[in-house]
Structure 1
Amino acid sequence: MRHPPRPFALLTGAALAMASCAFAVMGTAPGAAAVPVCTVTYSVVGQWAGGFQGAVTVTNNGSALDGWSLGFSFPAAQTVSQGWGAKWSQTGPSVTAANESWNAALGTGASVTTGFIASWSGANTAPSAFTLNGTRCNTDPGPDPTPTPTPTPTPTGPTDPPDPASGAPELSVTGNRLTDQKGATRRLLGVNRSGGEFMCVQGNGIFDGPVDDASVRAIADWKANTVRIPLNEECWLGLDNIKPEYRGAPYVDAVKGLVARVLAHGMTPVVELHWSYGQYTGNSSGCADVHASCQKPMPDAQYAPAFWTSVANTFKGDRRIAFDLFNEPYPDRATSTTAQAWTCWRDGGACPGIGYEVAGMQDLVDAVRTTGARNLLLVPGIAYSNDLSQWLTHSPTDPTGNLAAAWHVYNFNTCATESCWDSTLAPVAARVPLVAGEIGENTCGHAFIDRVMAWSDARSLSYLGWTWNTWNCSSGPALITSYDGTPTAFGIGLRDHLRALN
C-alpha cells in the first residue's frame, strides 16, 4: 500500500483424476508395445462447493502439429465457466480446448497445459476419453502378455489428511499449496502491522503504536494466523541518515522482539522489504528522495541484497518466519513496454526509466538462499503487485523450490474484478501458492474485500488485510480504532470473516 515458471505437482485435498490416451503407430514391430501418439493427463487441482479448478496436459508423441484441438465429454453435467491456455468452448457435455495463436505449434514430444474453472453438482467424475484433432486416443493392446498372478489388494479406507502442526507452522511449498512440517495444508490469513517502514526514516520512532504482548494478542483474538511486518532497509542496515536510536541494532532488536511475540501467539510472521534506497522521479514517483522514504519502483542493487542477506542470517534458523521480498514493484510505470518491465523485475540491472541500478527478484532470491536460509519466500508481481499475468513465465529460480506468488488488491486497482482474477490469477494459483499480501478498500466499508475473500476462500488461497493501525480513512484502509482490537467499519468485515473461518 502506498501511504504517508516453474511447474510443480498440483495436489490438494480434492480428488486427483488421471486419464491417459494413446493411438497406435504404424510400423510397430510385431510383439512390441505401441508408441503412444498422445498422452493426456487430467487433474482436479482444487474443489469447493459447486465448483472446481481443473488442468489438462497433452503431450504429442506423433508428428509435429501446427494447430491442435483437444476434445472430451464431461460425464456428470460439469460446466466450464472460465479457461486459460486454450480457447475453451462447451456444447452440452462436449468440451473443446483449441490452441491459442501463441501455442499452436506442438512439436513431437512437446506438451501443453491448459486450465479451467467449472461448476459441478452431485458428482465430479473425470472424463474417460479424449480426442486430439478429432482422433480418439486409445491404446493398441498388442499381443496378449503372459498371464501373471494378480495380488489381492488389501482393502483400505479413505486417507485422512494430516493434522496441522500446533502453533506457527514451518512452511513449505508443495505443488500449489503451503504445507507445514506434518504435511497439512495451511493458509496465511491475517493482517499487516504497518509502521516499521516509515516511522524510523521520518525520525519518529520504530513502530506506529504499541507492539507489546497485549497488542499482538489482540490480533490473535481476531483469529488471525499471520502478521506481515513491513520494514525499511536503511533502518535495518543502520545507515547514518537515520537517527541512531532508530537504526541498526535498536531497530533490528525491535523487529526481532515483534517477531518473537507473533510466534508466541501461534501466528506466522512475514518480514517484508517495504521502503528502499534509490532516487526515482519518473512516472508515479512517490518522492524525489534518494533515501528509503517512500515506495520505489524496484529494490536497489546497492543495499537491497545486503538487507536480505542480513535478514536471512538473522532468521534462517526458524522456518516459521516467511520473507516477502519487496512490497509493490512498479517498473511498468517507468519502462515503455510490459516486456521490459518483467525483464527488469526478474533480472534487475540498468532498467529503462529507473535512474539507479536495480536488484531484480532473482538477485533477492539469491541473496537469501546464499545464506543457507530455506524460509518460504513471497515474490510479488508488477503494477504495485496487482499484475501477475507473466509471473509464471518470468519467476525467479529457487534451488529450494520454496517460492510463493504474492499479489495486492484494492478496489481502485486495475485488476479488481472476479473476471480479471479468474484470467490472470487463477492460472498462477494452479501452479504455485498464491498469497494476497494486502487486501483493502478506500470506502471505509468491507464490501470489496468481502468479494476478495469469497473468491480466495473458494480456491483455498491466503490473504492479509491492510492494516492493523489506527488511521483515518483519508490516510488509507485501517482495520482498527484502538490497539485493543476494536474494529473500524472496514475492519469488522475482516474480523468477522476470520472468526467465522475458525
Structure 2
Amino acid sequence: MRHPPRSVLLAVTGAAALIAGVTVPVVTAQGATPACTVEYAVTSQWDTGFQGSVKITNNAAPLNGWSLGFDFADGQKVTQGWGAKWSQSAATVTVSNESWNGSLGTGASVSGGFIASKSAANAVPTSFKLNGTTCNAGTEPPPTTPPTDPPDPGDKPPALHVSGNKLMDAGGRTRRLLGVNRSGGEFMCVQGRGIWDGPVDDAAIKAIADWKANTVRIPLNEECWLGLSNIKPEYAGANYVNAVNDLVAKVKAHGMTPVVELHWTYGQYTGNSAGCSDVHASCQKPMPDMRYTPSFWTSVANTFKNDPAVVFDLFNEPYPDRATSTTTQAWQCWRDGGTCPGIGYEVAGMQDLVDAVRATGAKNVILAGGIAYSNDLSQWLTYRPTDPAGNLAAAWHVYNFNTCSNESCWNSTLAPVAAQVPLVAGEIGENTCAHSFVDRVMKWFDDRGLSYLGWTWNTWDCSSGPSLIAGYDGTPTSFGVGLRDHLRALNG
C-alpha cells in the first residue's frame, strides 16, 4: 500500500482445542475399482464444531459438472465451505463444482473443505454419491469418530510449514493467518523521525490481540536494517534490528504470528508510477535491488532462521509492469531480476531472494507477492521461484481501487493459485471509511479457508491510509470495525 502524506500520516479457536486430521481411507475389496472414490477427513475438531475435507476421484467417464451428496448422522451442520459450492438440507450435504473446476476427467481428483457445527458425537458419513452414482462401492467401512480431547496447542504462535496448498503447524493442523499490518518500520527511520509510528509496548500489542488477530505483518526498510550511512545512527543498524526483534517477541508473546516484510528499498526509479526520485529507500520501488536486498534477506534470515514461527514476506508490492512494455517482460523481471526494461538499477528477482534466504539454512515460510502492486497473480504459477525447502506461498494485495477487485477476477486468477499453494492476502483495505468491500474479500477468502491481513494498524485518516484504528488502544475507525468484528466472530 502506498502511504498517506506524512502530514496525516479461520481455524476456529476460542475454547476450542484442535486435533490432528483423521482421514477415511479408501480400500477396495478384492481389487474392484469403484466408479468414484471419496476420501473424507476430519482435519480439526473442538467442543462445538470441526473442520473437514473431501477429496473426490472420478474413475469413470469424464464429467462436465459434478455434484456429491452425503448424509450426516449426528446433526452436524455445514457453516462454511470452500473449493466448491456447499449446501445442506436437513441431514443431506450437497457439494457441487464451481465454474472453474467443473471438468473432472477419468482419474482426476478435486478437493474441498468445510467447517461444521456438531454436538458430542461426530460420526463420519458412510455413503457418498457422485452425480447419483454410489462411490467407494466395495470398500471397507470407515473408521470410528476421531477423539475429542486432543492436546491443547497452547498460546504460542505455531511453527509453520507448507503442505500442499495449506499452511500447517507442527501437529498437522491447518492454520490461517488472520490479522493486521503494523506500519511504521518502513518509513519512520528513513525520514529521521524514529523507528515506529506510535507505541509498540506490551499494551499496544495486546490491543491487537484483543481484536482476536493471530498475525501481525511488520513492514521494514532495508537501509535502516543494514545501517547505511544515510540513516541516523539511533534508528539504524543494531538499534533498528533490536527494535524489530523486540516487536517480533511481543507479537509472539501474545500468541500471534509475526510476518517480517521488506517494504522500502534502494534504487533510483523515475519512470511510470514512480513514488519518489530518491535513490534511497524512501518509497516503494518497482522491484528490489541487487545491491542491498539479498544482503538484507541474508541478515534477516540469519536472525530468525531458528524460529519457524516467523514468516518472511520478500517484497511488498512489485510493479515492474509499470516500467516494462509487455506483461511477459514484467513477470520475467519479477522472477529473474537482472537488467529489466525501464528500471535503471540492477534488479533482484524473487528467485534471488529465495536463494538468499535458503542459503542461510532458514526454512521459514516465504511469501512472494505478484506484479501490479501484488494485485496480479495471473502468471504467478508459471513464474514462481524454485524453493528447495518447499515452503513458498503466494501473497496478494487488494483495495477497492485495484484492477482485480471483484469476485470474477478472484475466481479466474486467485482460485487456481490457491488450489496449488497457500494464498495470503497480505493487505486488504478500502478508502471509503466503510468496510463493505473488505467484507466481500473476507467472505471470498473465508469460503476457501485462506488468509488475510487488514491495512493498517495506524492512526491515520481512514480514507487516505486506510487506517483500521483511531487510537492505539484498539478503538476502530468506521473502516476498521468491519475487520475487528469479523475476527472476533471467527475466533471468539
Give me the TM-score of the superposition, normalised by structure 2.
0.78
Q: Secondary structure at the match of 1:488?
A: coil
What residue identity is the alignment partner of 1:204? R
Indicate whether 1:332 and 2:321 are aligned: yes
Partner residue in 1 for 2:121 = none
* Inter-partner Cα distance in structure 1 for 2:352 and 2:472: 37
Aligned to 2:274: 285
Equivalent positions of 1:116-265 (< 5 A) are 156-158=144-146, 163-265=152-254
- 1:377 alignment counterpart: 366
User: Is 1:84–2:100 an aligned residue pair?
Assistant: yes
Does residue 478 of structure 2 align to residue 482 of structure 1?
Answer: no
Shifted more, 443-452 versus 173-182: the winner is 173-182
Q: In the TM superposition, what is the alpha-carbon distance from 1:125 to its structure 2 partner?
A: 7.0
Q: Which deviations, in whole Å up to 9, do the C-alpha atoms of 1:310-356 show, x marking residues without a partner?
A: 00111112111111111001111111111111111111111111111
TM-superposition CA deviations, 1:369-424 (whole Å, max 9, x none): 10011111111111111111111121111111111111111111111111211111
State how far apart, in whole Å, the 2-side matches of 1:312 and 1:348 are: 20
Identity %: 68
1:257 partner letter: D
Aligned to 2:334, what secondary structure does the other structure show? helix
Q: Structure 2 vs 1, CA of residues 179 and 244 (structure 1 numbering), >3 Å: closer, same or farther?
A: same
CA contact (8 A) 2:21 2:173 kept: no
Residue by residue over 1:279-330, the C-alpha shift from the partner in whole angstroms, topping out at 9 and shown as x without a partner, is 1111111111111111111101110000000001111121111111110011
Contact 1:436/1:462 (8 A) holds in 2: yes
Instruction: Name the CA shift for 1:153/1:129 in 2 (closer, same or farther; >3 Å).
Output: closer
Shift of 1:157: 3.2
Number of the residue aligned with 2:296: 307
Deviation (angstroms), 1:44:
8.2
Aligned to 1:74: 67
The 5-angstrom pairing of residues 489-500 of structure 1 reads 489-500=478-489
The amino acid that maps onto 2:2 is R
Which residue number in structure 1 is paired with residue 2 of structure 2?
Answer: 2
- Distance (whole Å) between structure 2 residues aligned to residue 375 and residue 428 of structure 1: 20
Residues 73 and 456 (structure 1 numbering): CA distance in 2 closer, same or farther, change over 3 Å? closer
Measure, in 1, the Cα distance between the counterparts of 2:151 and 2:253. Answer: 23
Shift of 1:82: 3.2
* AA aligned opposite 1:386: N
User: 2:265 & 2:419 partners in 1: Cα distance?
Assistant: 32
Q: Kindly indicate whether residue 383 of structure 2 is the aligned counterpart of residue 394 of structure 1.
A: yes
Q: 1:274 to 1:157 in 2, by over 3 A?
A: same
* Bigger Rg over Cα: 1
Verify: 1:342 aligned to 2:345, yes or no: no
1 CA distance for matches of 2:282 and 2:364?
A: 27
> Quick one: structure 1 residues 185 and 163, their matched pair in 2 at CA, closer, same or farther if it must change by over 3 Å?
farther
Deviations 1:192-227 (A, max 9, x none): 000000011111111111111111111111111111
Is the CA contact 2:67–2:96 (under 8 Å) kept in the aligned structure 1? no
What CA deviation, in whole Å up to 9, does each residue of 1:36-55 have, x standing for no partner?
9xx998778999x9xx9988
Q: How many residues align?
A: 436
| Residue 467, structure 1, aligned to residue 456, structure 2 | yes
Q: Look up the equivalent residue of 2:98 and give its one-letter code.
A: Q
CA deviation map 1:101-137 (0-9, x unaligned) = xxxxx9xxxx98888999xxxx89766699xxxxxxx
* 263 and 112 in structure 1: CA distance in 2 versus 1, 3 angstrom threshold: same
| Alignment correspondent of 1:366 | 355
Give, as a single letter, the amino acid of the residue that structure 1 aligns with 2:270: T
Contact 1:81 1:116 (8 Å CA) reproduced: no
The code of the aligned residue for 1:82 comes to E
Q: Mapping of 1:374-453 within 5 angstroms?
A: 374-453=363-442
Letter in 2 for 1:74: S
CA drift at 1:277: 0.6
User: How far apart in 1 are the matches of 2:371 and 2:128?
Assistant: 36
For the 8 Å contact 1:194–1:467, the answer to whether it is kept is yes
Shift in alpha-carbon separation, 1:341–1:113, aligned structure 2, 3 A: farther
Q: In structure 1, how many angstroms separate the alpha carbons of the residues matched to 2:183 and 2:377?
A: 24
Q: CA RMSD in A?
A: 4.0
Is the 2:375–2:396 Cα contact (8 Å) retained in structure 1? yes
CA–CA distance in structure 1, aligned partners of residues 474 and 333 of structure 2 = 40
**Which SS does the other structure have where 1:475 is aligned?**
coil
User: 2: CA distance between counterparts of 1:417 and 1:281?
Assistant: 31
From 274, 277, 280, the equivalent of 2:263 is 274
- Distance change >3 Å, CA 394–CA 175, structure 1 → 2: same
Inter-partner Cα distance in structure 2 for 1:351 and 1:484: 45
1:273 and 1:157 map into 2 onto residues whose CA distance is 45
Amino acid at match of 1:376: V
Return the alpha-carbon distance in structure 2 between the equivalents of residues 436 and 195 of structure 1.
Answer: 19
CA contact (8 A) 2:36 2:130 kept: no
Secondary structure, aligned partner of 1:396:
coil
Deviations 1:76-101, CA, capped at 9 Å, x for gaps: 3957563337xx4xxxxxxx568xxx
Seen in structure 2, the aligned counterparts of structure 1 residues 115 and 171 have a Cα distance that, compared at 3 Å, is closer
Per-residue deviation at 1:264?
Answer: 1.1
Give the secondary structure class of the aligned counterpart of 1:82.
Answer: coil
TM-score normalized by structure 1? 0.76
Q: C-alpha separation between the residues in 2 aligned to 1:241 and 1:45?
A: 55
Residue 460 of structure 1: how far off its partner (Å):
1.2
Query: Is the contact between residue 478 and residue 491 of structure 1 (CA under 8 Å) also seen in structure 2?
Result: yes
Provide the rounded CA distance (Å) in 1 between the counterparts of 2:399 and 2:181: 14
Specify the code of the residue in structure 1 equivalent to 2:459. Answer: T
Point out the more displaced range, 386-395 or 364-373: 386-395
Q: Contact 2:462 / 2:468 at 8 angstroms: preserved in 1?
A: no
CA contact (8 A) 1:350 1:358 kept: yes
**What is the deviation of 1:475?**
2.7
Aligned partners of 1:250 and 1:75: how far apart in 2?
Answer: 58
Work out whether residues 301 and 362 of structure 2, in 8 Å CA contact, stay in contact via their aligned partners in 1: yes
Decide whether aligned partners of structure 1 residues 186 and 124 sit closer, same or farther in structure 2, where only a CA change above 3 A counts.
Answer: farther
Shift of residue 363 of structure 1? 0.6
| Cα distance change of structure 1 residues 204 and 46 upon mapping to structure 2, 3 Å threshold | farther
Q: Which runs of 5+ in 2 are unaligned?
A: 6-19, 44-48, 70-92, 115-124, 133-138
Question: Which whole-Å CA distance do the structure 2 matches of 1:117 and 1:394 have between them?
Answer: 27
Contact 2:126–2:141 at 8 Å: present in 1 too? no
